[in-house]
Homo-oligomer: A and B are copies of this chain.
Amino acid sequence: MSNLYLAVIGVGGVGTAFLSQLASLAPSMRPTLIFISRSSKQLYTNDYKPISPSNLQTSPSKLLSLPELTTYLAAAPGKSILVDNTSNQDVAAAYPSFLRKGISVVTPNKKAFSSSLSLWNDIFDAVDKSNGKAMVYHESSVGAGLPVISTLKDLVATGDQVTKIEGVFSGTMSFLFNSFAPVDGSGKGKWSEIVSQAKDAGYTEPDPRDDLNGMDVARKLTILARLAGLKVQGPESFSVQSLIPKELETVGSSEEFMQRLPEFDGDMEAYKDNAAKQGKVVRYVGSIDVAKGEVKVGLQMVDRGTPIASLMGSDNLICFYTKRYPCPLVIQGAGAGGEVTAMGVTGDLIKVVERLR
């Protein structure tokens, strides 16, 4: 193949899994790794020599800023690809500059596609203007390795009309409600107990409020709504029901929050009982009504027989209702975790390599 070069930013859980998947690709599918960074460490050579991730310990004397990295990659003796495995807003904001220099971007970083609409427009304008030379792939920005973004893009590109998108978009929320209000009517304890257990088991962010505020789901819906053609300003421009009780919004530490959460168990119990009386269960659902231009995130009472109600563990479930699929096209499975998120990134990288080589 023609020379392809690869820069990787971020070597945390996803990044580590990605590097190991990258190493297992056939040599013909593997671009030459020339830059890698983690927090304030970087590894690269001035003359684009292949580097090994295991040498990241030794940093170069000069750290490259994002504009300098752009210049560095643009001057490589072949096309280059940036894999951003962070969730960093600054890196996301630099995508248009990378793309305008012909550098393709592959990333699970939700921020790039769910922040301001102007950043979204800048990114895709740059892709359009590159005439197929620079591309952006972001499968793992929704549902990790599940084929959510690619399916929605295919539906739209082939001329289908998406009418509604609905589902459970957070592995954490899925786990919490599948445990709190399973379809069989049982339940594994009080709401605050379940949140606490989930936190201890690592199913939530270190601070569970980062899941409970619903912003992660709101970001994913922003991305899907935009792909479906809605001009959504951002994740704060539509109704998102936070599960952080109003009275606890000003609490400082996550410890204090967890300590006081039991005071509000009654509220969640009431939701659950109310649903049960109607033969339903309560779930944290995201939905996009494309015709009405309406995006909603929050608690919903769901019929017991539906796929959303019967979801298990921490699975995600995404339903696409379209003209061609009035009975929805449904995708279900683990929507978080290092390995499956990295899989979406590696799968995207393969597609970019196939197009560029």
Contact = CB atoms under 8 A, between A and B. Distances in A.
Contact of A332 (B25, B330, B346, B355): B330
A133 B33 CA distance: 25
A32 to B, nearest CB: 17
A343 B21 contact: no
A329 B333 contact: yes
Contacts of A269: none
Given A132-B357, A145-B324, A354-B132, A343 B1 contact: no
A312 interface: yes
Interface in A287-341: 305, 307, 310, 312-313, 315, 324-325, 327-334, 339-340
A255 to B, nearest CB: 32
A337 B160 CA distance: 14
A146 interface: yes
Nearest to A24: B159
Contact of A158 (B151, B155, B343, B357): B343
Contacts of A313: 327
Interface string A137-156: 00000000111001100110
A158 B147 CA distance: 14
Nearest to A340: B324
Contacts of A307: 307, 310, 332
A350 B159 CA distance: 12
Given A307-B307, A347-B158, A350-B158, A328 B324 contact: no
Interface string A24-60: 1100010000000000000000000000000000000
A154 B343 contact: yes
B350 A327 contact: no
Nearest to A338: B324
Contacts of A340: 324-325
Contact of A343 (B160, B305, B312): B160
Looking at A150, A325, A350, A357, which has the most chain B CB atoms within 10 Å of its CB? Answer: A325
Contacts of A270: none
Contacts of A328: 333
Nearest to A144: B324
A157 interface: yes
A29 B158 CA distance: 11
A346 B29 CA distance: 25
A208 B62 CA distance: 72
B145 A147 contact: no
Contacts of A347: 154, 157-158
Contacts of A343: 154-155, 158, 160, 324
B329 A157 contact: no
A1 B350 CA distance: 22
Contacts of A24: 159
B330 A334 contact: no
**Residue among A1, A29, A347 facing the most chain B CB atoms (10 A cut-off):** A347
Given A154-B343, A330-B330, A355-B355, 15 more contacts: A21-B158, A21-B159, A132-B354, A145-B154, A145-B158, A145-B324, A147-B151, A150-B150, A155-B343, A158-B346, A159-B346, A327-B333, A329-B331, A329-B332, A329-B334
The 3 closest A-B pairs by CB, nearest first: A329-B333, A330-B332, A154-B347
